[in-house]
Structures are given as C-alpha cells and as structure tokens.
Amino acid sequence: MKRNIIILSLIAFVVNLGFGAIMPIMPFLLLSLEGVITEIPEKLESIQGAEMYAFQFGLMTSSFMLTRAFLATYFGKLSDKIGRRPLIIAGLILYTFLSYIYTLAQNWVHLVLTRAVQGVASAMVWPVAEALLVDTVRLKERGKYMGWYMTLSNLGFIIGPSIGAYLYKLGVYVFNLGVPECFIFPFYLLTVLAGITSIAAFATQEIITTRRKSKIERAESKYADEVLKIPREIKRSLYTIYFMGFANGIAMGLVFPIMTLFIMQYVTTDPAAQGIISTISGFVGFLVNYPAGFISDKKGRKPVVITGQLISRTSTLLLPFSKKVSDLIIISSIRSAAFNASSPAMRALQADLAPKQIRGKVFGVVQSFFNFGAVIGPLLGSKIYEISFGWNIHLFGLVLPGVSISFWISAFIGFVTLATFILFVEEPKKTAES
C-alpha cells in the first residue's frame, strides 16, 4: 500500500512539474517557429504579430481537451478489464516520447498534433492512477490519501513555471542559445522527468485482479442506473451543476490560452515574468484550498462556493486593467485564491447531492461537460482576441485594449452560472449516512 501511494504521488508531482515548466514557454516556442520572434524577447518592447496566431494557441488547448474528454472514460473502463498498471506504464512511456517530439517540432501544426496525442496519454494516466490509488487504500483513509495525492500534483504544477523560466534564462545567458533553441531547452527537462516516472511506474502493484462482475454487483449496477429514484430537487441541482460544468469550461477556455498573449503584448515580453506570475498566484491558491474545504464542512458548501465564485469572476473582469507585472500578480493571486476556495466546496457539494450508488457517474458527467466546454472556449476566445486586437475601449476615463472583451465575456458567463447556482442548487441537509 505504501509503495503505491508514494510512487503514484511522485508520478503526479514530477509529471506536473515538467508540464508546468513548459506552459509559459509554449507560446514563445510557437511564435519563434513561425518566425514572429527572431531574437530574445526581453530585447523587444512588444511582440508584433502575435495576435495573428491566437487561434493556433486556442487550438493547442482544445486539441488536448478534446482527446482527453473522449478517451478518459474509455481508458477508465479498460483499466477495469485489463488492470490499472499496464495503462499507467504505457501512458507515461507515451508522455516521454511526446516530450521529446516537442523538441523536433518545425511549425505550429506539429505542436497542435503533439498536444492532441498528449491528451491521449493524459487520458491513459490520470483517471487510471486515481483509480489505482483508491483501490490501494482503505475506505476510511481515501480522503486523506487523495488529498495528499492532489496536494503533490498541484505543488508540481505551481513550482513548474518558475523552473521553466529559470531553464529558459539558463539557456540564454549560460549556454548562449539563440531562438528557437532557448525555448526548446526546457522541453528536455520534461523528457527527463517523464522518463523517470515511466521507470517508477514499473514498481507499482496491481491491487484488484480483473474478473467478471458477480450477480450481486450486476444487480447493484442495475439498481443504480435504472431503479434508483432521485428526488426532484436533487435532480434539479445536479442538472444545474452539469450546466455549470459546461459553461465554466467555456469561461475558462476564453481566458486560459490567450492569457500569455495578453501578457506578452500588453504587460511584458519577458518569459520569466510569465512563470513568476503563475507560480506566485498558484501558491496563494494552494494555501487557500484546504482551509476553504474545512470551512465548507463547518459552515456549509453554498456560502463558500458563492463567495469564491463571485470574487473569482470579478477578478477575471479586472485582469485587462493590469498594466504592470505587479498588477497581474495581485489580481491573479486573488483570482487563484477565490477559485481554489470554491473548488473543494463544489466537489464536496456534488458528492453530498449524488446518491452513493451513482456518485462516480455524476462526477464523470460533470467532468465530461467541463471538458467539452473547454474545447469550445479556447477556439472562441482566441478568435475574439484575433478580431479585437488593435481596438481601443474607452471606459471610466481609461483606454483599454479591445482584447479585454474575451475576459469580460468569460466573467459574464461566470456571473450567469453563479446566479443559476444560487437559484437552482439546493444544499442537502447533513445525515448520518452522508
């Protein structure tokens, strides 16, 4: 049991460390491969022409989310039949191969295709790894060890951007690498880290032997899917949460892929600044996560979700007002803290609402709705960015860039979903069974 917990948590930390390291560098690599960036970006006052590739940025995000959305459920079911360990090992080997393929990319098409296949690897590893972790631990300790697993996973993603920025600087100022080699350099770390996790995965141990379902299990499954009667108010709450998942996926996608473009064209061209912003805001959110979950246990889920969502959406609305790196750090940190405060409360509320016989199914449906929304959002947001670039918006005596529209639409969608949540989601009363 200890072996699986340690190895799976290590895999989550190391892979997310490498993945986080390349995230702030990826847009610069794309622009350098397309000839938009021909010298070290710190020497440039602004990066002209980057807006013409906004759609390609969105496509990279959407391609990853699309393949993962379609295949995560399939690989989860397949792991029930053939075991968890083979899929985790195969997925991590694929991760390692793709990490190296990034270094061979010649244009944006290669990057998009690599991201799409990386979504396949992600679908093979993450839902299956979580299932193996749950298989491994005792029922009464699942929450504790899942929390430990998620903590290390998030920590890797928080630290990663700063490491990626440091590697970029190392390539430029120590190894005297030019463009695009300085942007490729951090991807070698991702390859090494993915290779380490591939080797470590061989030490995991299969817990549940695959077998045919017993008559009792088949009867319970039939009961869960066909016979279980859900009260109308609970059903209404769940349907509302499904809608929120889809809408939040769109809202996230409207901002996530263009955020780097906005920073490099309106705030700073230094790739290191991107990593610093991500790391600081991520760490602030990381600190809030556990206390917010604890408060939701004591004071109720809905108040925590409402407060976090309201602050998060307002922060998204204010992001385009940022003129300096310090402005972005403050607003992004508040946004991250608010989002991370509402997330555990929302997941706990989903679990409270869903009868235990269909709880896994409900979580899967919410994720599917979110993922499909996250396919649409980046394409829409990047197109809005491309069209509105160069516009000026006069507001309260300030002149704001036209690309602010993407952020404001995202915030508006968030406010609509929050209003829907307040009106139609009912928090169930605590019972001994729940």
- DSSP codes joined into one string, 212-274: PPPHHHHHHHHIIIII----HHHHHHHHHHHHHHHHHHHHHHHHHHHHHHHHHHHT---HHHH
CA 121 vs CA 98, 124, 155, 390: distances in Å = 9, 5, 21, 38
The whole-number pLDDT of residue 213 equals 45
Q: Residue 219 pLDDT more than 60?
A: no
The whole-number pLDDT of residue 171 equals 93
Q: How many helices (DSSP H) and strands (DSSP E) are in the chain?
A: 14, 2
Q: What percent of the chain is predicted at pLDDT more than 90? A: 43
**Do the Cβ atoms of 156 and 12 come closer than 8 Å?**
yes
216: confidence class by pLDDT, cuts 50, 70, 90:
very low
Question: Which domains are assigned to the chain?
Answer: 1-204 (1.20.1250.20), 216-434 (1.20.1250.20)
Closest-CA residue to 157 (of 116, 193, 107): 193
227: confidence class by pLDDT, cuts 50, 70, 90:
very low
Phi first, then psi: give them for residue 355, nearest 5 degrees: -55, 145
Instruction: Provide the whole-model pTM.
Output: 0.80
- What's the whole-number mean pLDDT along residues 90-101? 93
Question: Element (H or E) spanning 395, and its range?
Answer: strand 392-395
The whole-number pLDDT of residue 413 equals 97
Q: Residue 230 pLDDT more than 80?
A: no
Integer Cα distance of 48 and 53 in angstroms:
11
Closest-CA residue to 337 (of 280, 294, 377): 280
Integer Cα distance of 310 and 304 in angstroms:
10
CA 274 vs CA 15, 162, 279, 312, 329: distances in Å = 20, 8, 9, 20, 10
Integer Cα distance of 160 and 156 in angstroms:
6
The whole-number pLDDT of residue 211 equals 45
The one-letter amino acid at 326: S
Q: What is the per-residue pLDDT across 310-368, written as a single tens digit (0 to 9) for each?
A: 999 999 999 999 989 999 999 999 999 998 888 878 877 887 887 766 665 676 677 77
Q: What is the per-residue pLDDT across 369-420, written as a single tens digit (0 to 9) for each?
A: 888 898 999 999 999 999 999 899 998 888 999 999 999 999 999 999 999 9
Integer Cα distance of 38 and 85 in angstroms:
44
Integer Cα distance of 283 and 81 in angstroms:
38
- DSSP codes joined into one string, 355-390: -GGGHHHHHHHHHHHHHHHHHHHHHHHHHHHHHHTT
Closest-CA residue to 26 (of 89, 158, 115): 115
The whole-number pLDDT of residue 72 equals 78
Q: What is the per-residue pLDDT across 35-83, written as a single tens digit (0 to 9) for each?
A: 999 999 888 877 888 888 988 988 988 898 888 888 877 887 788 788 8
DSSP 211: -
150: confidence class by pLDDT, cuts 50, 70, 90:
confident
